[in-house]
């Protein structure tokens, strides 16, 4: 049980390329399999942290690989959406840039002796992205690869909401980082 959380996280990394391949096949059957893979990925994301805490199986490796797996998996899904023509490049750029930014903010924080903990905005972002990704594939599965205009409009609105929530999370993490650095500098100057 101690290795299971890390195995779940690592498995999620491999689900990303599989989703990319399945979406590129442009068939209803492939989209049905895609939905199953995506649901398994989302369940593994919920399960890995829960199992790690319940069985005291948290590790430094797990603290690194879990957010890495989340970022890689979601980026690959959004890149597949871009390739399929379901999503514009600017949305993908914002989403991928947010994860890069947060990773570097964590590195800068550690260099300053500060831990930049997970923030509520990051958890909300993950939930919204997961729901929107599954809903997007679900829409193209249910209504076909060339759906009515209203379907593509709804997909676009969902993806826009995911992008805006992601951008908000980037701002929230940046503000949290700046505040923690400011507090540390204030304490250092008093000492």
DSSP string, 108-119: HHHHTT------
Q: What is the pLDDT of residues 121-151, one digit of tens each?
A: 999 999 999 999 999 999 999 999 999 999 9
Superfamily of domain 4-190, CATH level 4: CDP-alcohol phosphotransferase transmembrane (TM) domain (1.20.120.1760)
Q: What is the pLDDT of residues 34-55, one digit of tens each?
A: 999 999 999 998 888 888 888 8
Question: Is the model more confident about 106 or about 22?
Answer: 22
Q: Answer yes or no: is pLDDT of 188 > 70.
A: no
Element (H, E) at 46: helix 28-54
Q: Which two tokens stand for residue 128?
A: 């919204």
Domain boundaries, the chain: 4-190
Interatomic CA distance for residues 42 and 121, integer angstroms: 18
């Amino acid at each position: 049980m101690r290795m299971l959380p890390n195995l779940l996280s690592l498995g999620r990394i491999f689900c990303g390329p599989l989703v990319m391949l399945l979406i590129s096949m442009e068939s209803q059957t492939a989209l049905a399999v895609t939905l199953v893979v995506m649901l398994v990925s989302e369940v593994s994301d919920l399960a890995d942290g829960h199992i790690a805490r319940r069985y005291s199986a948290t590790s430094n490796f797990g603290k690194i690989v879990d957010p890495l797996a989340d970022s890689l998996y979601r980026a690959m899904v959004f890149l597949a959406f871009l390739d399929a023509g379901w999503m514009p490049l600017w949305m993908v750029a914002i989403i991928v840039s947010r994860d890069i930014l947060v990773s570097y903010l964590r590195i800068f924080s550690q260099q300053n002796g500060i831990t930049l903990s997970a923030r509520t905005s990051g958890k909300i972002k993950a939930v919204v992205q997961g729901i929107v990704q599954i809903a997007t594939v679900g829409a193209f599965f249910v209504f076909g690869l060339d759906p009515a205009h209203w379907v593509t409009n709804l997909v676009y609105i969902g993806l826009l909401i995911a992008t805006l929530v992601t951008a908000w999370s980037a701002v929230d993490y940046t503000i949290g980082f700046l505040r923690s650095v400011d507090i540390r500098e204030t304490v250092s100057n008093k000492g």
